[in-house]
Amino acid sequence: MSARMGALYEEHVILGASFEEGPLAGALAVSSYAGEKDLGPSLGGAVVSDLTGTTYQLLSGPSAPELAEAALAGRRLAVGEAAFEAVLTGEGRLVAAPLALRTGDHEYVLCDPGPEGAAAVAWVGFLSGVERDGYAPYEGSALEDASRMLVPILLAGERSRAVLSDYVRTAGESLPGPGRVASLHLDAIPALVARVPARGPEAWLLLVPARSARVLWRSLLSFTEVEPVGTRAARELWARARPLPAGPPRVPAPRAELARLGLVRADGGFVGERALGD
């Protein structure tokens, strides 16, 4: 199976999926499934979505923490934390607000199934290569698609916690709280599990080894309350979960509102800070 198709491609074909070009590297993403229902105002059960083909990047390297602090305007993440964070240009324009996970001392994951995700990755990639007078502050950092290693699966809805809890049976392990990332065994499958700090339905991001993704995918769909949805629905869920300023985009972005939503930190030190509006 090629990286373009993803580890779960055959599973999606069986379910009658329609595909679309993803925003990065020509990867295919599931747009929707045959007979897929609208989400509606609430999710009484649970939905599951493969985010392969959307913006899902690993930022790593010895200077990754410095680059993350410059490119991500929200709080400085400790290992095991996750948050939606603003990405701003030097002019103070809000590019995107991806979900950022700090998965190691020198590792971050950026995830955003929405259309703004690709722009955020392009901007962070540009910053990684910045050089002035022969000095490259973020030399050694790398930004790459992470789906070949760990497949991103979104599980959301009122029943999502009950479904996911059924897999956590190893002594000493438990589901993480909002904005936290945990290394867990889902039955026998090692995975990173992040509780999305959602304003809407409870949501979880599961990062599963590619070799085990099909087993977990089929297992999740064995629950009668779990339905598969494509990335169109996932983008809608993401929009409900993510805090963004109300109204049309402003340049520069409003500092006070971004701060109120938790998208920028008070002590600054990020790109675009000085250009933010009142």
Question: Positive or negative CA dihedral for 41, 46, 47, 51?
Answer: positive
User: How many C-beta neighbours within 10 Å does residue 43 have?
Assistant: 22
Residue 26 has pLDDT above 70, yes or no: no
Start-to-end CA span in the chain (Å): 50
Domains defined along the chain, listed by start:
9-243+257-265 (3.30.1360.120)
Residue 1's pLDDT is: 47
What would the two tokens of residue 16 be?
Answer: 């009658």
Report the DSSP pairing between strands 46-50 and 226-228: parallel
Taking only the tens place, the pLDDT of each residue in 29-76 is 999 998 888 887 677 899 999 999 999 999 999 999 999 999 999 999
Which range has the worst mean pLDDT, 4-13, 45-54, 76-85, 220-229?
4-13
Amino acid letter at 158?
E
Q: What is the pLDDT of residues 141-167, one digit of tens each?
A: 999 988 888 999 999 999 999 999 999
Q: What is the pTM of this model?
A: 0.94
Question: Torsion angle of alpha carbons 71, 108, 100, 54, nearest 10°?
Answer: 100
